[in-house]
Chain A
Amino acid sequence: MARTMAEKVWEEHVVRRADGEPDLLYIDLHLVHEVTSPQAFEGLRLAGRGVRRPDLTVATEDHNVPTENILGPIADKVSRTQIETLRKNAAEFGVRLFPMGDIDQGIVHVVGPQMGLTQPGMTIVCGDSHTSTHGAFGALAFGIGTSQVEHVLATQTLPMTPFKTMAVTVNGTLKPGVTAKDIILAVIAEIGTGGGQGYVIEYRGEAIRALSMEARMTICNMSIEAGARAGMIAPDQTTFDYIEGRPHAPAGADFEAAVEHWKSLRSDEDAVFDKEVVLDADRLSPFVTWGTNPGQGVPLDAEVPDPAEMAGADDRAAAEKALSYMDLRAGTRMRDIRVDTVFLGSCTNGRIEDLRAAAEVIKGRKVADGVRMLVVPGSMRVKEQANEEGLGEVFKAAGAEWREAGCSMCLGMNPDQLKPGERSASTSNRNFEGRQGKGGRTHLVSPLVAAATAVRGTLSSPADL
C-alpha cells in the first residue's frame, strides 16, 4: 500500500503494537532543556529509575539564560536554580549538557541540526513544542510534555496514537524579498491555528524544494502554530549536503548507506493524504501579524482588518479582543504601525542565514531613533560564524545590540522583555498576549522585514528603504 513519509517513519519505530492500545514508538533522539525537565528527573529519582539511553539524550541551556554577561551568576535566583538543577540532573544521570559558555550551547532546535544529530527518518522529541523544527530533515519530530519527558528518559519510547496526514503544497517561485517565514505565516492564516490539529503536515512542491535547510526549518518550526504536532519535508540532495561532514553525521560507507535509506523515505507517488492544501508562492508577499495569535496575519501591504467584516462570531470576538490588546484600529495601514523594539532571533529565525539576510539589509544603515534592536543568535556556533563573516560588526555599527545565544525575547523568561504597552516586530513564532513581556505587543515578521522595520521604525520591507 502506498504510504506517506510520516507513515513510513512511524512504522519503522513501532516497538510494540497491540489491539486497542496506542503504538509504542522508539525515540531516536531526546533533546532536553532546563524548563520542562526538572520535574521529570525528579520523577525518575522518586521512582528509583534511571535514564535508559543517555547516549540518545542531550541537554542544553536556552530558555532562561541571559544574553549578556553569561559567565557571571544569573541575577534572577529562580532562573539560576533552574539552570543549576539541570546541571545537577545531567551530571547525576549521565546526560551530556551544553552549559552557558560552551561553544555548543544554544537553542535546543538550533543545536541538534548544527551538530548533525538531526537526521532523516529519525524520531525526535523534546519538551518543547517547536521540536517540529527537526521535521525539515524528514524526521518525525514533535513536542511533548514533562510527563512524556520522564517517560522517554525512563524507557526511550512513547505510547502514541497515529496522526492524520496533511499535504501542504507550495507551487511556483517566491518573489525576491519573500521568505520561508512569509510562506508559513500565510499557511497559518489560511488553515487557522487549529487547522492542523491532529495532523502531521508534509510540506511539498516546487517552492519548498527550492528552499535551503535553514529556510525549511523555519517552515517546519511553526507547524505547531497551525495546530499540527509535526511538520515534515522529504529529504533530498539539499538535506544530504547539509548533513554531510557534521560532527554526528554518519561518515564514509555509513553515509552512503544512510543516504540510500533516506531516499526511500519520501511519500509514495500515489500516497493519499487525509487533507490537502495548495498555495501559490508567486502570489505571496511579506506577511505580518496584527493580532494575538499567529493566524491573525495579513500581507504587509494590507490594512488592519475590520472584525465587523469577519464571517464567524468566534473570529469576530477574537479579533475585537486582539485589536483592543494590540491597541490597533481597523483600517490602519500595517506600514504605519510604529514599533519600539525589533527582535531578531529564536528557533524560528535565529540561524546564520537569517542573520545574513538581516545584515544585508541593515548594512550601512542605522536603527531608527527610539527603536531598540536586539540580535540574538540561535547558538554560540551561529554567533561565532556571524562574527567571522563580520555580521556582528554590521549589527553593532547600525546601533543594534549583539547578544549571546538563547531563546531570549521570544518568550521573555530572561531579562529580555518588552515593557507594558511596548510594541515589537519579532522574528519569533508567537504573538500571544504578554508572551514577550507583560503587556507587550508583538508583530511576527521575517528577518528581512525585521531589519527594514528597525531602520524605518515602522513595519517595513527592504523595498521601502
Chain B
Amino acid sequence: MEKFTVHTGRGAPLRASNVDTDQIIPAVYLKRVARTGFEDGLFAAWRANDPDFVLNREAYRGSDVLIAGPDFGTGSSREHAVWALQDYGFKAVLSPRFADIFRGNALKGGLLAVVLPQPVIERLWAIVEADPSAPVTVDLVEREVRAPGLTEPFEIDDYTRWRLMEGLDDIALTLRHTDDIDAYEETRRSWLPVTR
C-alpha cells in the first residue's frame, strides 16, 4: 500500500446524501476478477446521464478530493467502490458520516476517508464551487484539512494513522502474532462446526 502523509489537490463538490455503493460503482462492474481498472464504473449512471454531474464538469476535471454529503458509501460491502475512486484518481473522500464498511475498506486500501462536521463540508463546498482550482490539503500528519480560509482538525485513531503513514499491510502485521492465534485455537470449543 502507498504511504499517505499529506496530499494537496483539488476538491470535487458532491452535494448529495446517501451516496450508496451501487451509485459509486454499479453491480455490473463487479463481475471482473482483476484488482484494477474500475475507473470506468465510477458513478457510471450519473456520469452517463447527467451532464451537470460534478465529474462531468470541465472545471472539476482532475480533482482528487471528493467532498460529499452525509452517509457516503452506504449499502453493499463491495471494496470495488474504493478501488473505483482510487483508479479514477481520488486520494481522499470527506463526508460528515460514512457507512462503516466503506470507511473500513477505504482505510485498508489507503483512500483517506475523513469525517468532518456538516458545516465544514458546506464551507468546503462553497470554497471549491467559488474556485474549482482552490487547493485542498488533507494532512494526515497534522490531522487537518486545509483550504483557502479554512483549517479544520479531524479525528483518526493513532493505529490507523500510523498504518496509513507507513503504508503497512494488515495481514503482515497480524502474521507477527501467529503464536497468539495458535494458542487461541487450542481453546476453541470442540463442538464448533467445521465446513467439511
A-side interface residues toward B, CB under 8 Å? 15-16, 20-22, 24, 26, 28-29, 35-36, 38-39, 42-43, 47, 49, 52, 54-58, 63-64, 76, 78-79, 81-82, 85, 96, 116-117, 119, 122, 127-129, 131, 143-148, 150-151, 154-157, 159, 161, 193-194, 197-198, 224, 227, 229, 248-250, 254-255, 257-258, 261, 293, 314, 317-318, 321, 411-413, 430, 432-435, 438
Least CB distance from A85 to B in Å reads: 5
Q: Known: A148-B108, A227-B99, A413-B28. Is A143-B22 also a contact (CB below 8 A)?
A: no
Can you spell out 7 A-B residue pairs with CB atoms less than 8 angstroms apart?
Answer: A39-B33, A117-B193, A127-B79, A227-B71, A227-B74, A248-B194, A438-B45
Q: How far is the CA of A151 from the CA of B32 in the complex (A)?
A: 20
User: Taking the complex as formed, is B41 at the interface, i.e. its CB lies under 8 A from any CB of chain A?
Assistant: no
User: Taking the complex as formed, is B97 at the interface, i.e. its CB lies under 8 A from any CB of chain A?
Assistant: yes
Least CB distance from B114 to A in Å reads: 15
Q: How far is the CA of A144 from the CA of B102 in the complex (A)?
A: 9
Q: Known: A35-B30, A227-B71. Is A24-B180 also a contact (CB below 8 A)?
A: yes
A293 & B171 in contact (Cβ 8 Å cutoff): no
A16 & B74 in contact (Cβ 8 Å cutoff): no
Chain A residues, Cβ within 8 Å of B191: 250, 254-255, 257-258
A143 & B195 in contact (Cβ 8 Å cutoff): no
Chain B residues, Cβ within 8 Å of A129: 75-77, 101
Q: How far is the CA of A229 from the CA of B190 in the complex (A)?
A: 28
B76 & A56 in contact (Cβ 8 Å cutoff): no
Q: Mark B161-196, 1 if CB is under 8 A from A, else 0.
A: 000000000110111011011001100111111111
Q: How far is the CA of A415 from the CA of B178 in the complex (A)?
A: 44
- B residues 106-123 in Cβ contact with A at 8 Å: 108-109
B31 & A413 in contact (Cβ 8 Å cutoff): yes
Q: How far is the CA of A352 from the CA of B77 in the complex (A)?
A: 26
A430 & B35 in contact (Cβ 8 Å cutoff): no
Q: Mark B28-60, 1 if CB is under 8 A from A, else 0.
A: 101111110000000001000000000000000
B23 & A150 in contact (Cβ 8 Å cutoff): no
Question: Most chain-A CB neighbours within 10 Å: which of B16, B71, B193?
Answer: B193
A82 & B193 in contact (Cβ 8 Å cutoff): no
Q: How far is the CA of A85 from the CA of B32 in the complex (A)?
A: 10
Chain B residues, Cβ within 8 Å of A154: 171, 174-175
Least CB distance from A230 to B in Å reads: 10
Least CB distance from A222 to B in Å reads: 11
Least CB distance from B74 to A in Å reads: 6
Chain B residues, Cβ within 8 Å of A79: 31
Least CB distance from B15 to A in Å reads: 8
Not counting A47-B171, A224-B75, a sample of 12 additional A-B residue pairs whose C-beta atoms are within 8 angstroms of each other reads: A15-B184, A78-B31, A117-B193, A131-B77, A144-B101, A155-B171, A194-B74, A197-B98, A227-B74, A318-B16, A413-B30, A433-B22
Q: How far is the CA of A129 from the CA of B27 in the complex (A)?
A: 14
B177 & A24 in contact (Cβ 8 Å cutoff): yes
From A36, A56, A412, contact of B194 by CB (8 A): A56
Chain A residues, Cβ within 8 Å of B27: 63, 411-413, 435
Least CB distance from B20 to A in Å reads: 5
In the complex, which residue of chain B has the Cβ closest to the Cβ of A295?
B18
Q: Mark B1-37, 1 if CB is under 8 A from A, else 0.
A: 0000000000000011110101100111011111100
Least CB distance from B62 to A in Å reads: 26
B78 & A321 in contact (Cβ 8 Å cutoff): no
From A16, A49, A122, contact of B177 by CB (8 A): A16
Q: How far is the CA of A248 from the CA of B178 in the complex (A)?
A: 28
Q: Known: A82-B33, A117-B193, A227-B74. Is A36-B79 also a contact (CB below 8 A)?
A: yes
User: Taking the complex as formed, is B105 at the interface, i.e. its CB lies under 8 A from any CB of chain A?
Assistant: yes
B195 & A58 in contact (Cβ 8 Å cutoff): yes
Q: Known: A24-B174, A42-B35, A150-B171. Is A145-B194 also a contact (CB below 8 A)?
A: no
In the complex, which residue of chain A has the Cβ closest to the Cβ of B183?
A15
In the complex, which residue of chain B has the Cβ closest to the Cβ of A156?
B181
User: Taking the complex as formed, is B157 at the interface, i.e. its CB lies under 8 A from any CB of chain A?
Assistant: yes
Least CB distance from B64 to A in Å reads: 21
A155 & B77 in contact (Cβ 8 Å cutoff): no
Question: Most chain-A CB neighbours within 10 Å: which of B22, B158, B188, B191?
Answer: B191
B82 & A145 in contact (Cβ 8 Å cutoff): yes
User: Taking the complex as formed, is B132 at the interface, i.e. its CB lies under 8 A from any CB of chain A?
Assistant: no
In the complex, which residue of chain B has the Cβ closest to the Cβ of A155?
B174
A143 & B101 in contact (Cβ 8 Å cutoff): yes
- B residues 63-99 in Cβ contact with A at 8 Å: 69-71, 74-80, 82, 97-99
Q: How far is the CA of A143 from the CA of B75 in the complex (A)?
A: 10
A432 & B75 in contact (Cβ 8 Å cutoff): yes
Chain A residues, Cβ within 8 Å of B74: 193-194, 227, 293
Chain A residues, Cβ within 8 Å of B26: 434, 438
Least CB distance from A361 to B in Å reads: 29
From A57, A76, A127, A411, contact of B77 by CB (8 A): A127
Least CB distance from B38 to A in Å reads: 11
Q: How far is the CA of A185 from the CA of B114 in the complex (A)?
A: 30
B31 & A64 in contact (Cβ 8 Å cutoff): yes
Least CB distance from B103 to A in Å reads: 9
B181 & A151 in contact (Cβ 8 Å cutoff): no
B71 & A194 in contact (Cβ 8 Å cutoff): yes
In the complex, which residue of chain B has the Cβ closest to the Cβ of A143?
B77
Q: How far is the CA of A317 from the CA of B99 in the complex (A)?
A: 20
A432 & B171 in contact (Cβ 8 Å cutoff): no
User: Taking the complex as formed, is B100 at the interface, i.e. its CB lies under 8 A from any CB of chain A?
Assistant: yes
B190 & A248 in contact (Cβ 8 Å cutoff): no
A434 & B45 in contact (Cβ 8 Å cutoff): yes
